[in-house]
């Protein structure tokens, strides 16, 4: 047993004097310690620690032990402070990386939204490309058919061709189909852009009887009234019918021009009395030296603008005209060019027959022998009554052949017109 005795004159130097008011006794093993400068002998075998004499430890050793304890506590505090700093640093990194993660996640969501948007645009582009491919495929098919007809012409295997014609019927019908395709494309483009104009203008607008009379030349009331209520489908049909009517007027000016109707009557008499060969020669020569007015592209634009004006989407007729000219002028110029080409074909280049465009007068009873329905039905109502035509969406082609000697003419339908019926329009 070790006994520590603190002298009375040293107690006032300690930080806690009360600790040393009595003797301090430590039960320490007998080996080298930091409190002593000497090494004591280990106890002998069979001896008892209790029998050993106590050793007195000095104040200096106690003070050294106290300072060592304080140093250890300081080191522990420093270690804890360093660990706390490390924890704070890790928390700061965690917050910084969490912020970056949130930013990355928001960017991912934004990119996914952009991908969906681009995907939809890509699908729309693919749809339009598919339509164009289908159109080109149809044109290729017609070209192949035309090539087959021309090849058969060279072999002399096509009896319906006339040696006096510069074009075959297949070529004429191909031009008419191109005309119908351009009519539909112009009408669809105008309707699509017209829908984007939104609600009608706020100014008061009233459709006059003169407006209705102008439209009645190429469509029936059943097609006009839905247009006044801004029905897009009927607007497309109405524009198609207008363009078909104008194309028919361009190609058959002898029938529709008051100044030239006398010449048309003379031609009709020659076809009946003298036969096709003589009447066709007279028609070709007369047309070649005849100067007559024809509709230009701006006139056609004005007619179409009159249709869109009655929808109430424009503040003035001039704005309606500018809209049609901006959106549809290129297509309208193509329609005008094709119609003028067909006029030359019908009047000059085809001599074996009298060919002309077919356009159905509004309110005419549907005739399946010369018409097809836009909606695919046969034109018969459930009550058995024949339905009537509301408008023409595609022109057809007819052919008259003068028999001569008072025997009249033989009529053939080479291409049927496509029409919309009043009852079908009423259901839109």
Helix, strand or coil for residue 327?
A: helix
CA distance 217 to 223: 12
| Bridge partner list, 386 | 380
pLDDT at res. 153: 65
Structure tokens at 400: 């008259």
Tell me the average pLDDT across 188-203: 76
Q: Does the pLDDT value for residue 61 go beyond 70?
A: yes
pLDDT band at 160 (very low <50, low <70, confident <90, very high): very low
Tell me the average pLDDT across 282-303: 76
Q: Does the pLDDT value for residue 161 go beyond 50?
A: no
pLDDT at res. 255: 57
Of residues 285, 277, 287, the one with CA closest to residue 254: 287
Lowest mean pLDDT among 45-59, 205-219, 321-335: 45-59
| Most confident residue range from 295-304, 321-330, 377-386 | 321-330
CA distance 11 to 273: 157
Q: Transcribe 194-259 into DSSP letters.
A: HHTT-SPPSS-----HHHHHHHTTTB-HHHHHHHHTT-HHHHHHHHHHHHHHHHHHHHTHHHH-GG
pLDDT at res. 187: 94
CA distance 399 to 167: 14
Q: Does the pLDDT value for residue 267 go beyond 50?
A: yes
How far are the Cα atoms of 55, 57, 77 from residue 26, in angstroms, in the given order? 9, 9, 28
What stretches of 105-226 adopt beta strand conformation (E)? none
- Enter the DSSP assignment of 54: P
Lowest mean pLDDT among 101-115, 180-194, 212-226, 232-246: 212-226
Of residues 189, 172, 178, the one with CA closest to residue 327: 189
Tell me the average pLDDT across 181-192: 94
- Give residue 49's Cα distance to chain centre: 102
pLDDT band at 428 (very low <50, low <70, confident <90, very high): low
Selected residue with higher pLDDT from 305 and 157: 305
Q: Which residues contact 68 (CB under 8 A, 6 or more apart)?
A: 34
Tell me the average pLDDT across 38-58: 49
User: How many alpha carbons fall within 13 Å on the CB side of residue 34?
Assistant: 10
pLDDT at res. 279: 74
Q: Where are the domains of the chain?
A: 172-426
How far are the Cα atoms of 184, 185, 190, 324 from residue 330, in angstroms, in the given order? 13, 11, 12, 10
pLDDT at res. 329: 93
pLDDT at res. 306: 86
- Would you say the C-alpha torsion 395, 396, 397, 403 has a positive or negative sign? negative
SS3 content of the chain, % helix, strand, coil (to 5): 60, 10, 30
Phi, psi of 176 (to 5 degrees): -65, -40
pLDDT at res. 14: 45
pLDDT band at 294 (very low <50, low <70, confident <90, very high): low
Lowest mean pLDDT among 40-49, 103-112, 127-136: 40-49
Contact 57, 26 (CB under 8 A): yes
pTM of structure: 0.58
- Give residue 19's Cα distance to chain centre: 93
pLDDT at res. 258: 57
| Most confident residue range from 22-36, 199-213, 222-236 | 222-236
pLDDT at res. 385: 67
| Most confident residue range from 34-48, 90-104, 376-390 | 90-104
Q: Does the pLDDT value for residue 215 go beyond 80?
A: no
Tell me the average pLDDT across 87-106: 90
Of residues 102, 11, 99, 2, the one with CA closest to residue 52: 2
CA distance 412 to 398: 6
Under the phi-then-psi rule, with left for phi > 0, alpha for psi from -120 to 50, and beta for the rest, what region is 156?
left
Write down the mean pLDDT value for the chain: 77
pLDDT at res. 176: 95
CA distance 373 to 321: 31
Contact 345, 283 (CB under 8 A): no
pLDDT at res. 10: 47
pLDDT at res. 195: 86
Q: Does the pLDDT value for residue 270 go beyond 60?
A: yes
């Amino acid at each position: 047993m070790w006994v520590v005795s603190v002298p009375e004159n040293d107690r006032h130097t300690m930080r806690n004097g009360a600790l040393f008011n009595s003797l301090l006794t430590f039960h320490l093993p007998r080996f080298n310690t930091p409190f002593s400068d000497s090494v004591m002998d280990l106890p002998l075998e069979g001896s008892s620690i209790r029998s050993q004499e106590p050793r007195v430890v000095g104040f200096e050793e106690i003070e050294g032990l106290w300072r060592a304890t304080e140093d250890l506590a300081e080191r522990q505090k420093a270690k804890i402070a360093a660990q706390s700093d490390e924890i704070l640093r890790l928390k700061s990194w965690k917050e910084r990386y969490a912020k970056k993660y949130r930013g990355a996640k928001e960017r991912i969501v934004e990119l996914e939204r952009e991908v969906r948007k681009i995907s939809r645009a890509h699908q729309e582009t693919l749809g339009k490309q598919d339509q164009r491919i289908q159109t080109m495929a149809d044109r290729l098919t017609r070209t192949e058919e035309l090539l087959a007809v021309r090849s058969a012409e060279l072999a002399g295997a096509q009896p319906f061709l006339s040696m006096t014609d510069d074009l075959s019927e297949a070529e004429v019908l191909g031009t008419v189909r191109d005309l119908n395709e351009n009519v539909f494309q112009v009408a669809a483009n105008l309707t699509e852009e017209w829908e984007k104009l939104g609600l009608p203008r706020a100014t008061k607008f009233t459709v006059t009887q003169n407006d209705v009379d102008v439209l009645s030349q190429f469509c029936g009331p059943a097609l006009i009234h839905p247009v006044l209520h801004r029905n897009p489908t009927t607007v497309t049909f109405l524009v198609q019918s207008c363009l078909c009517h104008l194309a028919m007027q361009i190609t058959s000016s002898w029938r529709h021009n008051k100044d030239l109707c006398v010449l048309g009557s003379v031609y009709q008499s020659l076809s009946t009395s003298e036969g096709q060969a003589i009447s066709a020669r007279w028609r070709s020569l007369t047309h070649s030296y005849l100067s007559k007015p024809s509709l230009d592209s701006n006139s056609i634009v004005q007619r179409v603008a009159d249709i869109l004006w009655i929808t109430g989407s424009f503040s003035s007729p001039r704005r309606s005209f500018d809209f049609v000219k901006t959106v549809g002028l290129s297509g309208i110029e193509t329609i005008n060019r094709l119609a003028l080409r067909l006029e030359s074909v019908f009047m000059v280049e085809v001599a074996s027959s009298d060919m002309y465009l077919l356009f159905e007068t509004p309110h005419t009873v549907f005739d399946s022998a010369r018409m097809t329905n836009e909606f695919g039905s046969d034109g018969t109502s459930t009550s058995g009554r024949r339905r009537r035509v509301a408008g023409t969406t595609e022109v057809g082609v007819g052919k008259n052949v003068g028999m001569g000697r008072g025997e009249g003419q033989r009529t053939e339908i080479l291409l049927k017109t496509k029409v919309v019926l009043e009852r079908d329009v009423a259901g839109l």
